[in-house]
Chains A and B, each alone.
Chain A
Amino acid sequence: MSSGLKALLQRDLTLAFRNRGELTNPLVFFLMVIAMVPLGVSPESKVLANLAAGMIWVVALLATLLSLDSLFRNDFDDGSLEQILISPHPLYFIVLVKVFVHWLVTGLPLALISPLLGVMLFLPDAGFVPLCLSLLMGTAVLSLIGAIGAALTVALRKGGLLLSLIIMPLYVPVLIFGASVVRTAIDGFPVAGELAVLGAFLAMAIVLAPIAAAGALRISVNG
């Protein structure tokens, strides 16, 4: 079992790095939208510092949503998804591997460049580490939940917008706790409790989301 999954991991990572353009798109989007905030709201540092935590989180959520459509799309189009489905490996782990690669190439970079965006929006010093930590865990939950939406809409030609519509309400708890980790830290309170809740979301999403996504994939492929 593990050799098959390892091969899948290698294949997906290779595919991701051969398509470097697609790899950086969510990051550029993240950067551009954040650059729009001072232009649209106000360049004043006080106003931006207030908005920073929530804004960075909302944009990270949108960037993840935009990148999700391609999670199963290419495999579906060239037929390899069908081959993966009939392989002897449990679909649960296959989905988990694919989501892990997706997080590695979108969520992780988003979390890593978030301090830069924090500087652009005058995020108070106390917020930087919690922002990174909450995004690291939070984007993994976003990828896992989003995989369900991607699996449900993969058979549709224009799935992108629909995917966002059906998944966004499910992102609310992650957004609430993710943004509040940063805000609590800025206010000078301990954030361990809220990070633990995010961790709980992550644990639950790892257990449950691939089951739903696997079921959805079967429906999408077999009709």
Chain B
Amino acid sequence: MAWQWFYRMGSPRWFYEKTDRWIPWLALVTALLLGTGFVWALGFAPADAKQGNSYRIMYLHVPAAFLALAGYYVMAIAGAIGLIWKMKLSDMVMKAAAPIGAALTFLVLVTGAIWGKPTWGTWWVWDARNTSMLLLLFLYLGVMALQNAYQHQGTADRASAILALVGTVNIPIIYKSVDWWYTLHQPATLKLTSESTIHVSMLYPLFIMIAGFYCFYALVLIFYTRLEIVQRERRTQWVSALVEGAK
């Protein structure tokens, strides 16, 4: 009984109908969190002593970086579930997660460049974190390219799942090698175990933004997956009924 929900998750139709009911609530929570976070971060958090107001782009940059990395693991885990249990839904989630993750990684690079210009005086520095993020973008693009290369969807799913898993094994190695090679950057400021070096008044809105980004990610992932479901199940009766009903 306890595992019934897990088996049900295998059915795209069940997921589609369930998420119909989840979306309004999730959207509400996302809007609340992002709204509060934005207003607090841009309006009420104190300006930084050295960086002035330019540091506020951190409230986009850091949450996007969290999700860009987490997104790769979402993709890889979904791919692994698809490979092992041959679950249709999880293949769709994997395919949906790739472009979202790539977009977030791109956002991290762009906001990082915009933040870097006033603080370091240059758009781009070849340091550990910039380079790792760039490589993460390449990994995402590789998975997307492989997805697009195959005519047959099933092969595309399995092949890109393997690539995503290989990438997962490699990410810590890539990250550590790049770290070893790295030249200049401020040390990581947000640690969950030790005391953070940024002030709480700046930290609370950041946490809200991170939570908001997680919800936003979940929401977008659900939307993309639903799109994928309708596209792949377009020949089934329930999708036809859905389309008929919408007309």
Contacts and interface: CB of A to CB of B under 8 A. Distances in A.
Interface stretch (B17-25, B28-36, B97-105, B139-147): B139-147
A51 interface: no
Given A152-B146, A162-B149, A177-B177, A170 B170 contact: yes
Interface stretch (B56-64, B88-96, B159-167): B159-167
Interface size, A (range): 20 to 34
Nearest to B148: A162
A162 B145 contact: yes
Contacts of A153: 146, 149
A203 interface: no
Given A162-B145, A177-B177, A169 B163 contact: no
Given A156-B150, A162-B146, A223-B152, A172 B174 contact: yes
Nearest to B166: A212
B13 interface: no
A219 interface: yes
Given A162-B146, A162-B149, A166-B145, A172 B178 contact: yes
Nearest to B177: A173
Given A162-B149, A177-B177, A169 B162 contact: no
3 pairs of A and B residues whose beta carbons are closest in the complex: A166-B142, A173-B177, A169-B138
Interface string A163-196: 0011111101100110010000000000000000
Contacts of A169: 135, 138-139, 142, 167, 170, 174
Given A153-B149, A166-B145, A208-B169, A173 B174 contact: yes
Contact size class for B? 20 to 34
Looking at chain A's contact residues, the main secondary structure is: helix
B129 interface: no
A148 B166 contact: yes
Nearest to A201: B173
B181 A176 contact: yes
A165 B142 contact: yes
Contact of B181 (A165, A170, A180, A223): A180
Interface in B150-204: 150, 152, 154-155, 158-159, 162-163, 165-167, 169-170, 173-174, 176-178, 180-181
A165 B145 contact: yes
Interface string A139-173: 00000000010001101100100100111111011
B75 to A, nearest CB: 14
Contacts, number: 71
Nearest to B175: A173
| Secondary structure call for the B interface | helix
Contacts of B170: 169-170, 173
Interface of A: 148, 152-153, 155-156, 159, 162, 165-170, 172-173, 176-177, 180, 201, 208, 212, 215-216, 219-220, 223
Contact of A212 (B145, B162, B173): B162
A181 to B, nearest CB: 13
B80 to A, nearest CB: 11
Contacts of B158: 219
A217 B116 CA distance: 44
B163 A152 contact: yes
Nearest to A167: B142
Contacts of A156: 149-150
Contact of A219 (B141, B162, B165): B162
18 contacts: A148-B163, A152-B162, A156-B150, A159-B149, A162-B145, A165-B138, A165-B141, A166-B163, A170-B174, A172-B135, A172-B178, A173-B173, A173-B174, A176-B178, A212-B162, A216-B162, A223-B152, A223-B154
Contacts of B146: 152-153, 162, 166
Nearest to A180: B181
A170 B177 contact: no
